Amino acid sequence: MTITILGTGYVGLTTAVLFTHAGHTVYAIEPNKERLDIIKSGRSFFYEKGIDELVSSALETGRFFPTDSYDESVEQSEVVISCVGTPDNPDGSSNLTYIYAAARDAIARLRDGAIFVQKSTVPVGTGEKLKKIIATSGKNIPYVSNPEFLSESTAVADSLFYDRLVVGGDDGDALRTILDLYKTIEDKRNDMAAIAGITPLDKPMRHITTTLNSAELIKVSANSLLALKISYANSIAKLADKAGADIKEVMDAVGADERIGKHFLNAGRGYGGGCFPKDVSGLIASGLEYGVDLEIMQAAQSLNESMAGYIVEKMQDAMHGSLQSKKVAVLGLSFKANTSDTRRSPGIKIANMLCKAGADVSVYDPKAIEEAEPELHRRARIADSTEDCITDADAVLVATNWQEFLEYEPRLLAEKMRSDLFIDAINGYNVTDIEAAGLRYIGVGRNGEKAGEEN
């Protein structure tokens, strides 16, 4: 088949190279010249495990064409897959400017019978609106919603070994065509995993066919439920701090109940990234549009927003009320490990709050410095390494679960620091190990014993 992918972000570029390796001819449209040149040179412009190898080998097949032009690419295609970005508006609703612009540009060029697939996350009801635009074009272009569930840092693995594939729409033939298209990836997934250096997984993959509106709602509901789980864990963590319990022990046992599940119950500095904050606010906005008050998601959102301040306050208390001129090292600026993405990064939010409170802040991240720099407002010192960042610090705060931070020897840390406060904002460390190195440990929901003694 000939396929055009609109947008080359985490979802678009990954999808494009996988379909190329599955044997199709793929055009990938990227309007940004700098990014396009990087892809044409055989690399990705973002950091993601295995993607560079898949991009360079896709180019070698002679069937992968990164381009900035809708002409030719779209005109020749039997399937167009929209993977353009949906940033949020200041009011929290989704900004669909790129969605509509890309769809209009594609519909104008698509031939009769070609299928338009929406992979970008859009609010429920968007597909129906786009179908009206298709109808006014007078063309027969079936519209399929095919939400994406990949996580950054495991984008390739998630796109090869998924739990479920969802397609929604009202044209049965088009839905079958898209499911068959994905089967071509499934057939070659082990070969592609080998190129990407990813260990193959043997997991059952469910194919789910739904209505258009259901497919759109599945995506945001799934992400919002995961965000809700995190906020739930964080609210119990606040209680654990006061009541004298350890949130790790609590959630470990809570998650052992298969009905609940152990994932996304890790308390800490809260969720960030390009998806959860946006999908939660997008769902709230969708609710308002349809007259439904999603109070539960509003609570999840405000709890999440409170976490950075909660951690800074704990830090301030441990430093006898003031952070003025205290040397603080913040390790981790990406919103999670193994990505350079800094969108809604809790580490950056905390670093900026610490600067505002008068602390002398240094920051470090193994991959995200470049992306973080504009958001740091030049107030924090950017260190060259973990060691450089922590040297002479009064307090070290870890905000991202990068392996290199988790493996850093606590005794070495204690030697390099000038004082002894260790803030584990990801609840990733063993309290005993940190304390054995002579450091004072503060986690999120893990200082229960002390609070319990005071009560």
Contact status, residue 98 vs residue 126, Cβ threshold 8 Å:
no
Structure token digits, residue 359 = 């602390």
Q: How far apart are CA 31 and CA 302, in angstroms?
A: 36
275 or 417: whose CB is closer to ligand UDX? Answer: 275
DSSP summary character for residue 197:
T
DSSP summary character for residue 250:
H
Q: What is the per-residue burial (b if ≥16 Cβ within 10 Å, else e) of 28-43?
A: bbbbeeebbebbeeee
Q: How far apart are CA 36 and CA 28, in angstroms?
A: 9
Contact status, residue 5 vs residue 16, Cβ threshold 8 Å:
yes
What is the Cα Rg of the chain in Å?
Answer: 24
Structure token digits, residue 396 = 């070290």
* Minimum distance of ligand UDX from residue 220's CB (angstroms): 10
Enumerate the β-bridge partners of residue 360: 327
Counting every residue written for the chain, the total comes to 455
User: Which residues are the active-site residues?
Assistant: 275
Give the footprint of ligand UDX on this chain (CB under 6 A). 148-152, 223, 226, 230, 264-266, 268, 270-273, 275-276, 335-336
Give the other-Cβ count within 10 Å of 392's Cβ: 12
Q: How far apart are CA 397 and CA 441, in angstroms?
A: 10
Enumerate the β-bridge partners of residue 168: 145, 210
Structure token digits, residue 23 = 């044997």
Dihedral sign (CA 410, 320, 426, 343): negative
Q: How far apart are CA 230 and CA 99, in angstroms?
A: 29
Ranges of H-type helices in 62-109: 73-76, 97-109
DSSP for 362-419, written as a single string: EEE-SS-HHHHGGGGTTTSEEPSSHHHHHTT-SEEEE-S--HHHHTS-HHHHHHH-SS
Dihedral sign (CA 70, 71, 72, 76): positive
Give the other-Cβ count within 10 Å of 342's Cβ: 26
Contact status, residue 366 vs residue 177, Cβ threshold 8 Å:
no
